[in-house]
Amino acid sequence: MPFYLLSPLSDFANLIAGYLMEIWDFLIFIGNISSFIIVLIGAILWFTDVNAKRGKGLVLGGVLLAITVQYFVFFPPAFTFF
């Protein structure tokens, strides 16, 4: 009998876990796009000598962001409750 009582709760928990996985995938997508854009803008600033110091900083920051995002791609959190 307790199995039937916990079934709606486990279904709800699985539904919430599914939504969290979708949000996580969207955040990974945004992280990849933003790291590419940051590196691109930094490279433009650096190689055109508009602001070389800021360009180097943006390139380094974009590379660190890309490494961080890839870490979370390789080791995602477990969105399972049971």
**Average pLDDT per consecutive 10 residues, the chain (82 residues; last block may be shorter):** 65 87 95 97 95 95 97 86 60
In the chain, what are the domain boundaries?
A: 8-74
The predicted structure's pLDDT at residue 3? 55
Instruction: Judge whether 9 and 81 are in contact, CB under 8 Å.
Output: no
Neighbour count for residue 54 (Cβ, 10 Å): 13
The predicted structure's pLDDT at residue 1? 46
The predicted structure's pLDDT at residue 79? 72
The DSSP result for 48-73, as a single string, is: TTSSHHHHHHHHHHHHHHHHHHHHHH
